[in-house]
Amino acid sequence: MHRYALVFFCVCFSASCLAWGGRGHAAIGALAQQNLTPAALSQVQELLRDDLDRYEQASGRTTLAAVASWPDEIREVAMKTDPAAYKGWHVRGNQVCSTKLGPCKDGHCVDELIISYTRILRDKSQSHRARNEALKWVVHLVGDLHMPLHSGINRNGGGAKVSMEDVELKPDATLHTIWDNELANAALKGWKSSARLEQNVPALTEDAPTRWMLETRDVALHEVYEPLSGFSCEAKLPEPIRIDAAYQQRSVAVVRHQIEMAGLRLAQLLNESLP
């Protein structure tokens, strides 16, 4: 097994596949840490003791925000060792106009991997290294799962070419990449959530990540696709899609809501996994 793999998984290496970017993942990690119980926080701090970076060197990172993008960081090294084995680990191709779950061969998809890594995180018979990496995977993947286009796609697969009003994009920019980058960064600039986890919330079931993913799929339908001119469940989107100022403004609330949901749900998952 590859040294980074705690369970068998697949990894997407293109930069366009990185949900939220570092800023979004850090925001999710920071919000989650603010909502940890004292017991969970103590265990997180212990698990991050002697944390290693992608080069197997001491990282000096001691917070969830600091380690939240670790899975994206190791992809460069992992690609050199076994590129054919890594594809699609932080997404699931759920069609937004269908109630059916997308494919997940051998558990190689975002919700199933969260479940697998959570089991490792809970298991104190596992090595410190295994649980450290499981923690970092859970933090990252919960963030990925709440990015709408990582949980829901249309017939273009999120890959429709786009242009944005008053924003210069790279020639290969797609609907997926602007939600990962331009729209997310605009929404997060100068913003910090103060959301708090409610007391006495019902305990999570093991399949909670799948339920969260399906909610995010619906966000993709109603907030990402339906506002687009020419959207239809029966056809691909006409390209290039024009992302006007009104769409950009609406996306701010969507991004912030998804970041908050990810952070609070991650906190609850860690609180229950590290009692």
In a domain, 246, yes or no: yes
Distance of CA 89 to the CA centre of its chain: 10
Compute the distance between CA of residue 42 and CA of residue 26 in angstroms, rounded to an integer: 19
Q: If you average pLDDT over residues 26-33, what whole number do you get?
A: 96
Q: If you average pLDDT over residues 18-28, what whole number do you get?
A: 82
Structure confidence at residue 29 (pLDDT)? 97
Statement: residue 15 has pLDDT above 50:
no
Statement: residue 155 has pLDDT above 90:
no
Question: What DSSP line would sit under the chain, residue for residue?
Answer: --TT-SS------SGGG-SSHHHHHHHHHHHHHHT--HHHHHHHHHHTTT-B-TTSSB----SHHHHTTHHHHHHHHHHHH-GGG---TT----BTT-SSPPP-GGG-SHHHHHHHHHHHHH-TTS-HHHHHHHHHHHHHHHHHHTSHHHH-B-TTTT--BEEETTB---TT-BHHHHHHTHHHHHHHTT------PPTTPPPPPTTHHHHHHHHHHHHIIIIIITTSTT-BTTBPPPSSEEE-HHHHHHHHHHHHHHHHHHHHHHHHHHHHH--
Number of domains present in the structure of the chain? 1
Compute the distance between CA of residue 16 and CA of residue 240 in angstroms, rounded to an integer: 17
- Rounded to 10°, the helix 245-273/110-122 angle is 30
In a domain, 137, yes or no: yes
Compute the distance between CA of residue 182 and CA of residue 173 in angstroms, rounded to an integer: 10
In a domain, 112, yes or no: yes
Chain segment 176-195, per-residue pLDDT in tens = 999 989 999 999 999 989 89
Structure confidence at residue 17 (pLDDT)? 44
Q: What is the dihedral of CA 158, 164, 168, 172, to 10 degrees?
A: 20
Statement: residue 202 has pLDDT above 50:
yes
Distance of CA 207 to the CA centre of its chain: 17
| C-alpha closest to that of 64 among 24, 29, 20, 105 | 29
**Mean pLDDT score of the chain:** 88
Chain segment 68-117, per-residue pLDDT in tens = 999 888 877 777 776 655 566 778 999 999 999 999 988 889 999 999 99
Statement: residue 16 has pLDDT above 70:
no
In a domain, 257, yes or no: yes
| C-alpha closest to that of 144 among 175, 184, 182 | 184
Structure confidence at residue 247 (pLDDT)? 95
Chain segment 32-81, per-residue pLDDT in tens = 999 999 999 999 999 999 999 988 999 999 999 999 999 888 877 777 77
Q: What is the model's pTM?
A: 0.89
More confident residue, 29 or 18: 29
Structure confidence at residue 90 (pLDDT)? 79
Structure confidence at residue 84 (pLDDT)? 52
More confident residue, 121 or 16: 121
* Domain span holding position 239: 15-191+202-273
Q: If you average pLDDT over residues 142-164, what whole number do you get?
A: 90
CATH of the domain at 124: 1.10.575.10
Q: Which residues contact 5 (CB under 8 A, 6 or more apart)?
A: none
Query: In the structure, what pLDDT confidence band is assigned to residue 200 with cuts at 50, 70 and 90?
Result: confident
Chain segment 219-261, per-residue pLDDT in tens = 999 999 999 988 999 888 889 999 999 999 999 999 999 999 9
Statement: residue 132 has pLDDT above 90:
yes
Residues 114/71, Cβ–Cβ less than 8 Å: no
In a domain, 48, yes or no: yes
Q: What is the gyration radius of the CA atoms in the chain, in angstroms?
A: 18
Compute the distance between CA of residue 69 and CA of residue 226 in angstroms, rounded to an integer: 30
Statement: residue 11 has pLDDT above 70:
no
In a domain, 260, yes or no: yes
Query: In the structure, what pLDDT confidence band is assigned to residue 19 with cuts at 50, 70 and 90?
Result: low
Token digits of residue 30: 């920071």
In a domain, 253, yes or no: yes
Statement: residue 141 has pLDDT above 50:
yes
In a domain, 5, yes or no: no
Q: What's phi and psi for 228, nearest 5 deg?
A: -80, 135
